[in-house]
Chain A
Amino acid sequence: MSIDKATVAKIARLARIHIAEEKQAALASELSNILGWVEQLGEVNTDDVAPMTSVVEVRLPEREDVITDGDCRDDILANAPDTDGSFFVVPKVVE
């Protein structure tokens, strides 16, 4: 599958990574190569094959409904680039 500049721009937007205009074409080509290479999977018949979910048969582990965590605001905010001591602070969001 060949992807073009416009698709690169769209995926970059989805992934929130700014790709400079002048780099988009080269990236499109690179990604197209990779995608072309992985497409060989289409050769394999996978009708009636279930996607892999786990290596060995195990149940999803469950936790008890007790409060064991939280109340550690300082740890939560410790590494944030911008806080006011209580909240994370980000540029204004317009809804």
Chain B
Amino acid sequence: MGGLTELTLSEARAKLEQGEMSAVELTEAHIAALEAVRPLNAMITETPERALRMARESDERRAKGQAGALDGLPIAIKDLYCTKGVRTTAASNILGNFTPTYESTVTSKLWDAGAVMLGKTNMDEFAMGSSNMFSAIGPAINPWRRDNDKRDLVPGGSSGGSAAVVAARAALAATGTDTGGSIRQPAAFTGIVGLKPTYGRCSRWGIIAFASSLDQAGPLCRSVEDAAIMLGVMAGYDAKDSTSVDVPVPDYVAGLRGGVKGLRVGIPAEYRVDDMPEEIDALWRRGADWLAAQGAELVDISLPHTAYALPAYYIVAPAEASSNLARYDGIKFGLRSPSDDLAEMYERTRAEGFGAEVQRRILIGAYVLSAGYYDAYYLKAQKIRTLIARDFSAAFADVDVVLTPTAPSDAFAVGDKADDPIAMYLNDVFTVPASLAGLPAISLPAGLSGGGLPLGLHLIAKPFDEATLLRAAAALEEAAGFDARPPGGGS
């Protein structure tokens, strides 16, 4: 049974197709694995009964020859996706026992493809964070440990719980959301693959909104091929989401092994930031060399407005969040702090329900939109965004993908940077520009740091060119040959 959790999603699918195991067996193995990794605090809600029921139904379907693309495969869902009949919290106290009467579009597609739901994963509250420390149920823990160091490490954020369970081999894959790096950075910190599709590729309907113009659903998996399989199911136009783009979903697996001969890979000068750890710079160069060795052409490019991406993000995202989170008011769902006075009810409910980081961002957001400041902050940031998008557009006239590191460090200890918001924000320095431009991007594990922790490499492609992105990532994955694993069991 131990072997069943070592498989990639793709391998597990093949074994189910060949009848080498049943979905129920596969699911039981993962339920047990999840139990074993409880000390990681990666799950907010476990749904073993539901999982087993779904697995049984999957086996029945397969027996009738009706298996779907993900039939019988146990996956975990970030607790930002509304799942019908299953409590959904966004890792916040303010949602209380909110139990949606509806299913998000993306998870509907996963269940329609036959996937099995293991439960809802831990995350930074309302997706605001890069460490999963800011959660109402406490931090998720990275299954990796630094050499000779007993301290718990963060799995990254905000999709920290999803990354942790996939890295700990307790789920074949998980869904996350990425607004400024929240899929890619935890993937890098936990040594797995994390993909943020083009903005508009996947539907946002039923995903609790943080920053509407940036949020995107995406998969966290243990291989590039798995990510391609997951994306193929998750992606697609949704008429219920006005920002969803009606572009056909290609077969992302088909061209995966096409190689990178002749592929032009941009290396942006501005990503070589001050205080960049040597080992990350070295990994970046190594990654470029791997691609060159396989026939890609390396091209030095400039993305001049890179340095302004993070500050622009930390204006736009909080602004949109301050408005998106206004609906949490104790009236329609979730927590209410009782009072005879409406104003007091609002204020106390939200003070008690929202954690400190969320409150901070709501206040920043309200401030930068307020009268007299809108032009200088929000409007300015949206203009910077246009410039950043133009930088990429210009670069993509010359190159096919852009290669950068994913994160400026390996995983840090739980508790670090907790009192320094800006230090925390800097975790996203490499991932945020692609978010602002709405471009598809992926992180894959490429090496280990001096402390024995995973480091990721990050590829960015043109809008709706996930096919090229995945092809380049597959080539890099093969060259990197990353096969390190976190210590067994996770604790």
Contact = CB atoms under 8 A, between A and B. Distances in A.
**Co-complex (A, B):** yes
Interface of A: 3, 7-8, 11-19, 27, 30-31, 33-35, 37-44, 46, 49-52, 54-56, 58, 60-61, 63, 72, 75, 78-82, 88, 90-93
A35 B380 CA distance: 13
B384 A79 contact: no
Contact of B438 (A18, A55, A61): A55
A35 B369 CA distance: 13
B387 interface: yes
Interface in B344-384: 344-348, 350-351, 354, 359-360, 362-364, 366-368, 370, 376-377, 379-384
Interface stretch (B31-39, B308-316, B405-413): B308-316
Given A52-B382, A55-B199, A93-B342, A16 B312 contact: no
Nearest to B369: A14
A50 B330 CA distance: 38
B64 interface: no
B311 A41 contact: yes
Contacts of A93: 342
Contact of B464 (A8, A31, A54, A56): A56
A11 B373 CA distance: 12
A42 B346 CA distance: 35
7 contacts: A12-B363, A15-B322, A17-B347, A41-B380, A55-B439, A82-B336, A90-B331
Contacts of A55: 198-200, 389, 437-439, 463
A34 B364 contact: yes
Nearest to A91: B342
A42 to B, nearest CB: 7
B345 A15 contact: no
A71 B71 CA distance: 34
Interface size class of chain B, counting residues whose CB lies under 8 Å from the partner chain = 35 or more
A30 B360 CA distance: 9
A78 B275 CA distance: 52
B366 to A, nearest CB: 5
B384 A15 contact: no
Given A15-B326, A30-B360, A44-B305, 18 more contacts: A16-B343, A18-B347, A31-B364, A35-B368, A38-B314, A42-B380, A49-B383, A51-B379, A52-B213, A52-B385, A55-B199, A63-B239, A79-B101, A80-B331, A81-B96, A82-B336, A90-B331, A92-B340
A49 B387 contact: yes
Contacts of A51: 379, 382-383, 385-386
Q: Which of A13, A40, A46 has the most CB of B within 10 A?
A: A46
B242 interface: yes
B383 A31 contact: no
Nearest to B333: A79
Contacts of A40: 307-308, 311
Interface in B402-446: 421-422, 436-439
Interface string B290-319: 000000000000000101100110110000
A11 B365 CA distance: 10
B363 A91 contact: no
Given A14-B366, A58-B245, A34 B342 contact: no
B331 A88 contact: yes
Contacts of B387: 44, 46, 49
A38 to B, nearest CB: 4
Nearest to B350: A17
Nearest to B366: A15
A14 to B, nearest CB: 5
Contacts of B101: 72, 75, 78-79
B109 to A, nearest CB: 19
Contacts of B200: 54-56, 58
B346 A31 contact: no
Q: Which of B242, B381, B383 has the most CB of A within 10 A?
A: B383
Nearest to B354: A17
A36 B463 CA distance: 33
A74 to B, nearest CB: 8
